[in-house]
């Protein structure tokens, strides 16, 4: 069944108000929202909401931390290895879910960014009270069956318009020293101000 940009509750697309926010808060983000450079999308997804439906129950978590992976030229990005069975999803349409397993234990939530064929994605590292991408994957009950599907209500995992934090900070990405100093030093990790930890070298975005 094709995905639709309806409200997560189903039915006609509606204007939903949450916590006194602007009237577009709660609207599911359509594929064209993700058709932007990964570093811009990653910043804008901080404060957005990731929604999940399992066994008829819906949960929502406000995104507090993301990382941008810019495409095949970014040596920290999986797509830098070229088009492989694992990375082929990254070259697909924007708004596609890219799920992968690390250490044989943790499933990571990513969404494809930029024009189709770019090989870019945004990693969702933390949301709500859940800190870290591995814990988030467990909280959302991710499965490899989601890999390659569109992020939408029909799929059961989607993103909604949220309320942008007053301040967003940046740091280098976590665990990408293998990419060399040029790419490991890029400040492509984005954090909501309330999540930013003391002792980190933070730059307002």
pLDDT digits (tens, 9 = 90+) for 110-138: 999 999 999 999 999 999 999 999 999 99
Beta bridge partners of 102: 106
pLDDT surpassing 60 at residue 19: no
pLDDT surpassing 70 at residue 196: no
> Residue 25: what pLDDT?
77
**CATH numbers and ranges of domains, the chain:** 31-195 (3.10.300.10)
State the pLDDT confidence band at 34, using cuts at 50, 70 and 90. Answer: very high
Least confident of 8-22, 53-67, 168-182: 8-22
**Cα separation of 72 and 117, whole Å?**
9
Range list of β-strands (E), 32-181:
49-54, 57-69, 97-102, 106-113, 120-127, 157-160, 168-171
> Residue 103: what pLDDT?
83
pLDDT tens for residues 1-17? 445 333 334 332 322 23
What is the average per-residue pLDDT within 49-55? 95
């Amino acid at each position: 069944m094709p995905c639709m940009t309806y409200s997560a509750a189903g039915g006609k697309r509606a204007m939903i108000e949450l916590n006194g926010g602007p009237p577009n808060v709660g609207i599911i983000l359509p594929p064209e929202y993700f058709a932007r450079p990964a570093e811009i999308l990653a910043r804008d997804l901080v404060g957005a909401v990731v929604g999940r439906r399992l066994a008829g129950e819906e949960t929502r978590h406000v995104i507090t931390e993301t990382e941008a992976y810019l495409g095949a030229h970014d040596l920290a990005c999986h797509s830098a290895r070229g088009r492989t069975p694992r990375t082929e999803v990254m070259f697909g349409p924007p708004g596609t879910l890219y799920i992968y397993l690390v250490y044989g234990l943790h499933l990571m939530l990513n969404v494809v960014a930029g024009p189709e064929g770019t090989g870019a994605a945004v990693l969702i590292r933390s949301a709500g009270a859940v800190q870290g991408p591995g814990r988030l994957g467990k909280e959302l009950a991710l499965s490899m069956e989601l890999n390659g599907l569109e992020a939408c209500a029909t799929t059961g995992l989607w993103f909604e318009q949220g309320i942008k934090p007053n301040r967003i900070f940046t740091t280098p990405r976590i665990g990408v020293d293998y990419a060399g100093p040029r790419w490991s030093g890029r400040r492509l990790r984005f954090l909501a101000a309330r999540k930013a930890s003391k002792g980190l070298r933070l730059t307002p975005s």
